[in-house]
Every structure is written in structure tokens, then in C-alpha cells.
Amino acid sequence: MTSCASVATINLIFKHSFSQNSESSRFDFNVDLELPSTGLTAIYGHSGCGKTTLLRCIAGLNTPEKGRVRFREQIWQSEQICLPANKRPIGYVFQEASLFDFLTAKQNLEFAIKRADTRHTKLDYKSIIDVLGIEHILCKYPSQLSGGEKQRVAIARALLIQPSLLLMDEPLASLDPARKQEILPYLKALKHAFNTPILYVTHSLQEVAQLADHLVIMAKGKAVASGQVTELFSQLDLPLQLEQDSSAILEGVITEKDEKWHLMKFQFQGGALWLKDCGQALNSQVRVSIQARDVSITLAEHQDSSIVNRLAVTVVDIAKNIDPSMALVRLQTGDSYLLARLTLRSVDQLKLQIGQSIWAQIKSAALLS
């Protein structure tokens, strides 16, 4: 499993066999992970692959046959000790907000404050309320709130416990697409406003692309990949390429504006792109998604093209088995990666090879955040 450079990590080892009705339907859960203890780590995988089991083991709600949990320098579980769930400094957000119906939003929050670990007050009430935008609904009862509002109160409640680690199990799963879009900006704001690391379970690659710094891909009870989201999104040997309209993610900063043409310059590690100016402030950090089908290849730089965004890149991988007529090509520029979807005929005619220096033309890029 990929190892993180920082010593500030979360180390997890779990082994458990769930016996179901028959031996053939036994579920083996076997995870060995080292995760960063900063930012948002998405745990992604299909239904039944063990994502919730992973969170429950970390929280101490499941007791696996073998378990080890180290959060930074604290051991929560080992062969010798096993902190009970109520002694682990975690906040847990579930799919359903599960607020007390007979209490207002504010009273639900006060209930959490009473349970808070006051020795380590890191997050203050007002900032949590502000970041989640719930001041105006505090006097309402859960039955008077939308699904998204209830979930924002539930997230505030989890943060008011003053957790060292926030576990979120598909917090948007019960919301319709419009409510999901409404709550995503609050999740992004939360990630940037507080230093609390988040482990975020999801089925949605869109949520991964918008929110995650680090990604764990799970399949059949195992973590099959773990790494930076920008790195894993562009890897050709992972199931992600089969599950989405392949795209790469770039992270960078807005460094310049061209007001005459309504464009802004997005500078990233490895180059710069001109994007439609969507109003982001200069120096703001943004994330951009580039679909593989929007990237074409030329062997030399074409100054006479209508495509303004051209990058000098190196071919690092070619996958030919995705579709009988198509290839997916992984390209590197600096420390960043792009994907290009080309016909196999083009790959053959251009004689593309790993290590070759070529030019990528980017027809369009979408701002993710």
C-alpha cells in the first residue's frame, strides 16, 4: 500500500471474517492502510465492499478479529488495548441526519456540546455555525428542515464534540441531486476552515473529484489503491477509468485575469491554462477537471490552432483495452497528469510511445471548486 511521506498519519490494520449464511458468501475484510491525518480522504467503492465496516472499525463500533488503529501518536487499538467507542475522539456523520425530533436544531447542538471533550476545544461554536450557514434555522425543529439543512446541523453536531477525526458515511446519499449540489459548497468550506481530518465514504466520483485530497479505492473488503486523488484519477490500471467519463484533476492557483476576453489564467504544477473567468479572485486555489475526450495530441506545437491551451507533455502510459477502437493515454507535465482519449488508429499513425515528448491540446476544462 502507498505510504505517506508525513509522519502525521493514521495507521489502520483490520482483519475480520463475517460468516454469512454459507461458506461461499463469507465476507473477508482485510485492510492495511496508512493515511494522511490532514485534509479529506475519500473511501470509494461499490456497495458491499466494506466502506462502512472500515469506518465502524475505526470508531470502535465493530471489534474485528485483528485490529490496530494509530491516530498520529495515539494508539486507539492494538493487541494490548482497545479504546471503547465513547473514548475515541471522533465525530460521526451518518447517511441520515438522525437528529432528535423533539429538540430544535439549537437544542440538538447543545446536546452535543454537553458531550464535548472540553480538554481539547479546537473549534468554536460561532465558526461552526457560520461555516455551515445554519444560524437562521437554529430555532426550527428537524421536521421543519430540508434534508440538506438537517445534514448541515448533523455535521455541526459532530464537530461540536471537538473530534480529532471526523468520519462521514455517505452524508449526501439520502439527498436528491439539487440538495447534494446545495450542500457541497458547505463541505468544501468546512474542509478549508477547520484542520480536522475527514474520512469520507462515498459512491460518487463527482464528490471525490470535488472534495478529496487523498483517495482510497476499496473492492471486496480490501483497499486496492491509496494515494493522492490527482494521481489516482489519471492512473490507467484502476477501475476508475471504467466507471467514469475518464478525466484528470489539476490543482492550482488563479494568477492572472484577461478582462478584455473574460479569461483567467490557471497556473498549476506543470503549466498554465486559460479558462473562462468564473469570478474567482486572483490567488484563489482552484481545482479543474479535464475530460480525456477533450484532449487531443499533436507531435509538434501548432501555433495556428484555434485551441489556446497547449502543453508540452510526455507519454507515460497507454491503455488499449478499454474499447476495441479507442485508447486512453496518460500524459505528464511537471508533477501533473492529463488523460487523452484517442482512436487506436491515431495512436498507430502518430506512432505514440511511452517516453515520447508531444503536445496536448486542451479543448475545454471545467472548474470544480
Ligand X SMILES: Nc1ncnc2c1ncn2[C@@H]1O[C@H](COP(=O)(O)OP(=O)(O)OP(=O)(O)O)[C@@H](O)[C@H]1O
Residue 202 in contact with ligand X, rule: CB under 6 A: no
Cβ proximity of 357 and 176 under 8 Å: no
DSSP 154-195: HHHHHHHT--SEEEEESTTTTS-HHHHHHHHHHHHHHHHH--
| Residue 43 or 159 having the CB closest to ligand X | 43
Count CA atoms closer than 13 A to 77's CA, side-chain side: 25
3-state secondary structure of 250: strand
Task: For ligand X, give the closer residue by CB, 52 or 309.
Answer: 52
- How many angstroms separate the first and last alpha carbons of the chain? 29
Q: Residue 49 CB, nearest distance to ligand X (Å)?
A: 4
27 binds ligand X (CB under 6 A): yes
Q: What are phi and psi of 181, to 5 degrees?
A: -60, -35
C-beta of 186: minimal distance to ligand X in Å? Answer: 23
Nearest to 113 by CA among 168, 166, 52, 157: 157
Which 31-60 residues touch ligand X, going by CB under 6 A?
45, 47-53
Interatomic CA distance for residues 283 and 266, integer angstroms: 10
Q: Considering CB under 6 A, how many residues would be counted as binding ligand X?
A: 11
Pattern 256-295, ligand X, x by CB under 6 A: ----------------------------------------
Q: Is the Cβ of residue 21 or residue 118 nearer to ligand X in the bound state?
A: 21
Between 170 and 251, CB nearer to ligand X: 170
Q: Which is nearer to ligand X, 222 or 363 (CB)?
A: 222
Closest contact distance (angstroms) between CB of 27 and ligand X is 4
* String of contacts with ligand X for each residue 53-92, x by CB under 6 A: x---------------------------------------
- Go through the chain and tell me how many residues it has: 369
Q: Which is nearer to ligand X, 48 or 334 (CB)?
A: 48
Nearer to ligand X, 44 or 233 (CB): 44
Does the footprint of ligand X cover residue 219 (CB under 6 A)? no
Pairing of the two strands 165-169 and 198-202: parallel
Q: Shortest distance, CB of residue 284 to ligand X, whole angstroms? A: 34
Sign of the alpha-carbon dihedral angle for 52, 55, 61, 62: positive
What secondary structure does DSSP assign to 262-321, as a single string? TEEEEEETTEEEEEE--SPPTT-EEEEEEEGGGEEEESS--TTSS--EEEEEEEEEEEEE
**Alpha-carbon gap, residue 27 to 25, rounded angstroms:** 6
Task: Based on the shown chain and the rule CB under 6 A, indicate whether residue 20 belongs to the binding site for ligand X.
Answer: yes
Q: Rank residues 48 and 185 by Cβ distance to ligand X and give the closer one.
A: 48
Q: Which residues bind ligand X (CB under 6 A)?
A: 18, 20, 27, 45, 47-53
